[in-house]
Amino acid sequence: MSEQRPIGVIGVGWVGLVTAVCFADRGHEVIAMDIDEAKVDALRAGEVPIHEPGLGELLERNRERLRFAARMPEVLDSARLLFCCVDTPPTYSGDADLSRVRAVVSDLSDDGDHLLVMKSTVPSGTGRAIRRDAPDLPYVSCPEFLKEGTAIDDFLHPDRVVIGADPGDEWAGDQVEAIYRPLGGEIVRTDVASAEMIKLAANAFLATKISFINEIANVCEEVGADVTEVARGMGLDERIGPSFLRAGVGYGGSCFPKDVSALKQLAGNSGYHFQLLTSVIEVNELQKRRVIGKLEKHLGSLVGKRVALLGLAFKPKTDDMREASSLVLASRLQGEGATVRGYDPVAENRARELLPGIELLDSPEAALEGADAAILVTEWPEFAELDWESLAKRMKAPVLIDGRNYLDPERLRGAGFAYEGIGRSGDEAAAPAAAAKADSEPEAPRG
Ligand code: UGA
């Protein structure tokens, strides 16, 4: 069913742009607004400012149903249903910064003609506070569950759509449901505070799963077990499930770090100390430091060593580098006196802004040339296809720390690498000098 008036989307970041383009693809007229005029101009010209698979094609295909605006009145004049997709970045305290959400609401509060649908991630209680301040503004919470890299598919084929509306606003919830129902997936109707909490709790739980498996990986290293085997065996228990059990250099991105802190803070502000989340955050930080320890085990002091980072984005299929593990690793390596180089298939431009001190190369081969060691930070599929035999020969010392357990250890060792993953059996406890030799035999698996 198509809404008679255009759907308004406020904020054209990742979530807003995907939402706008996907609604247009499902036959709705859409007007999408952002205060960043340069971004609006680019979008009007058909340029997509982010790397998200399929988004450019979908935008192109649906341009006649999509308008972009840089002023709020343009949206308010034509749209009735308004999806708020502005960002809620963390403040220094870890709380969510709601200033952009408030600015949107202040443009609407005196108006009886609009319905606000909150897609931005906000702490539980925000919707009720907005409703109190703007009693004439019907309000629905409809949190987003998109993953960068697969956002289009997640939007068009959702597992579930959560729709929170409080008493008096159920009719508004019905209208949002009518728009989402054709996409399929279970519709969860609930109140606003619970909808807000579902979003934060889901992200915090997934982050907890990651920190948990990372700690299991660390124990595996001590006892000679292999975390990839452990995760496979655990994941077959349907109560646990196989996803988000990939051990590595920790989670990053614009969501997990922010949302875990926001939930911890929300609990703290309400007088409850959320002990578990404190550890989830701490484990995630420590996980990045462990990689530096692994390198030192192979190379000794890192002073003057040349280390290549393969992959800089926080995960594959995106150029997003917010809270990426590469940022922490690069700065720690530099702090230890190493020179850092990096390669990423799509994040080079963002890396240039965020990692000014590192040398960016335009191929993995160039990044590894003459390097003392490499760390695979992002599991881009192209890294599995590399000619590792010839890369081992190009490096000064073929040491590879696989921060995502992405590559085949046997193949890498066969290619001459001193290979070490995260919590994988057979990982080497190499002496610094021994590992520097391309032809050195890998140590026997421990345990
Ligand atoms: C996450 C959630 O998965 C989405 O459901 C949610 O909508 C989104 O946050 C959000 O709140 O907007 P996203 O941040 O795009 O999506 O990325 P994920 O695929 O969830 O990955 C997050 C991080 O966890 C990445 O750094 C990834 O490398 C890491 N990860 C993921 C692991 O270290 N191990 C795993 O097993 C899975």
Task: Select the CATH number that applies to the domain covering 191-447 from these four: 2.40.50.140, 3.10.20.90, 3.30.930.10, 3.40.50.720.
Answer: 3.40.50.720
Atom of ligand 1 nearest to the CA of 121: 11
84, 85, 220, 255: the active-site residue? 255
Atom of ligand 1 nearest to the CA of 324: 26
3-state secondary structure 105-164: HHHHCCCCCCEEEECCCCCCCHHHHHHHHCCCCCEEECCCCCCCCCHHHHHHCCCEEEEE
SS3 289: helix
Taking residues 248-268, report their average pLDDT: 95
Q: Is 244 in the pocket of ligand 1 (CB under 6 A)?
A: yes
94-99 LR contacts (CB < 8 Å, sep 24+): 94/261, 94/262, 94/264, 94/265, 95/123, 95/261, 95/262, 95/265, 95/266, 95/269, 96/121, 96/122, 96/123, 96/258, 96/262, 96/265, 98/122, 98/123, 98/126
Q: Which of 125, 87, 79, 124 is nearest to 103 (CA)?
A: 87
In sequence order, what are the residues at sequence separation of 6 or more whose Cβ sits closer than 8 angstroms to the Cβ of residue 286? Answer: none
Q: What is the pLDDT of residues 35-48, one digit of tens each?
A: 999 999 999 999 99
Return phi, psi of residue 364, to 5°. Answer: -65, -35
Write down the mean pLDDT value for the chain: 93
CB 137 within 8 A of CB 304: no
Question: Positive or negative CA dihedral for 137, 140, 143, 149?
Answer: negative
Domain boundaries, the chain: 7-190, 191-447
The label of the residue with tokens 């000619």 reads: 387
Q: What is the pLDDT of residue 4?
A: 79
Q: Is 316 in the pocket of ligand 1 (CB under 6 A)?
A: no
Question: Same CATH fold, 191-447 and 7-190?
Answer: yes
Question: Positive or negative CA dihedral for 375, 380, 381, 385?
Answer: negative
For residue 386, which amino acid is it? Answer: L
pLDDT band at 100 (very low <50, low <70, confident <90, very high): very high
Q: Is 245 in the pocket of ligand 1 (CB under 6 A)?
A: yes
Q: What is the pLDDT of residues 43-79, one digit of tens each?
A: 999 999 999 999 999 999 999 999 999 999 999 999 9
Taking residues 258-264, report their average pLDDT: 95
The question of whether 220 is a catalytic residue gets the answer no
Q: What are the structure tokens assigned to 344, written together?
A: 């990423």
Taking residues 383-392, report their average pLDDT: 96
* Total-model pTM: 0.92
Q: Does domain 7-190 have CATH number 3.40.50.720?
A: yes
Give the helix/strand (H/E) hosting 339.
strand 339-343
Taking residues 352-370, report their average pLDDT: 96
Starting at the edge strand that comes first in sequence, how are the strands of the sheet with 373-376 ordered?
359-360, 339-343, 306-310, 373-376, 399-402, 418-420
Taking residues 335-354, report their average pLDDT: 96
Taking residues 364-380, report their average pLDDT: 98
